[in-house]
């Protein structure tokens, strides 16, 4: 009797993968779900499904059974997908503004991370009243998930928190999240990149193009150059993910 343990993103994908490897169809196997897995939010905190698939034992009474029509097999697969589909609404995420913006932001961050299955410890929280910006930090062993690919995960989480906390508000606030000292390290690197660019422009007299980067990083560059190097100016060029900052001397 053939038997195999398979891991995949969903139960359905794991079962289909097992059928391919065993060269059997849905009517010829028995499935034992070891772990249903979890999709997680915005690609974070997910967990693969694990199934044990074995070939059925055929008795004399069913050896002559014919294979069910493909239409039935397709319907069964659709039912499996429906049964194991991750639904954020079913996680009962609740948010009621309290009037305390910092506490509200902390509550949202805690709920989202918990529903994503990510272990974390809250860090420092503060609000800059002038810019209406809330700064929240948290510690997690999964920080690499958030900081990979120019902090794509961190920005996705930040966008989600901002969208929820500002829903229905007239006076908007901005929530900036941090983990693993990301912003301190990022700003330090950007500062060094700017110094290198300014030095190159002074020496060559030609504009200097930095690498493509997210809008959050470009804004830091614009602000730093404007504050520290008034004899230089910055402009953005390019589209979408290829958009970058160009530093050049101000024409006299």
pLDDT (tens digit per residue) in 81-90: 333 232 344 4
Please give the angle made by the CA atoms of 239, 198 and 193, to the nearest 5 degrees.
Answer: 65
Q: How far is CA 28 from CA 11, 19, 23, 31, 240, in A?
A: 17, 9, 10, 10, 49
The model's pLDDT over 176-225, given as tens digits with 9 standing for 90+, comes to 999 999 999 999 999 999 999 999 999 999 999 999 998 889 999 999 99
Residues 6+ apart with CB under 8 A from 207: 201, 246, 247, 248
> What is the C-alpha to C-alpha distance for residues 5 and 33, in angstroms, rounded to an integer?
10
Which tokens hold the place of 77?
């697969």
**Is residue 118 within a helix (H) or strand (E), and if so which, with residue range?**
none
Ordered domains of the chain (ranges, CATH):
3-86 (no CATH), 90-180 (3.30.300.20), 184-249 (3.30.1370.50)
- What is the C-alpha radius of gyration for the chain, rounded to an integer number of angstroms? 26
pTM above 0.85, yes or no: no
């Amino acid at each position: 009797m053939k038997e195999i343990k398979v891991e995949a993103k969903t139960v359905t994908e794991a079962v289909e993968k097992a059928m391919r490897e065993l060269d059997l169809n849905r009517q010829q196997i028995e499935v034992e779900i070891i772990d249903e897995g979890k999709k997680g939010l915005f690609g974070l905190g997910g967990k693969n499904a694990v199934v044990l698939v074995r070939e059925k034992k055929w008795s004399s009474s069913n050896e002559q059974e014919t294979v069910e029509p493909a239409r039935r097999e397709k319907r069964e697969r659709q039912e499996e997908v429906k049964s194991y589909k991750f639904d954020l609404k079913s996680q009962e995420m609740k948010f009621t503004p309290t009037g305390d913006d910092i506490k509200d932001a902390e509550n949202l961050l805690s709920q989202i991370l918990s529903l994503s299955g990510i272990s974390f410890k809250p860090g420092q929280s503060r609000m800059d009243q002038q810019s209406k910006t809330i700064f929240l930090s948290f510690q997690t062993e999964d920080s690499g998930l958030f900081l990979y690919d120019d902090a794509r995960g961190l920005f996705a989480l930040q966008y989600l928190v901002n969208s929820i906390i500002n829903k229905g508000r007239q006076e908007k606030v901005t929530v900036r999240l941090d983990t693993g000292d990301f912003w301190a390290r990022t700003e330090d690197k950007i500062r060094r990149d700017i110094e290198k660019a300014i030095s190159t422009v002074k020496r060559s007299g030609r504009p200097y193009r930095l690498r493509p980067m997210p809008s959050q990083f470009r804004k830091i560059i614009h602000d730093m150059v404007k504050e520290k190097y008034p004899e230089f100016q910055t402009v953005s060029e390019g589209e979408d993910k290829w958009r970058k900052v160009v530093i050049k001397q101000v024409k006299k």
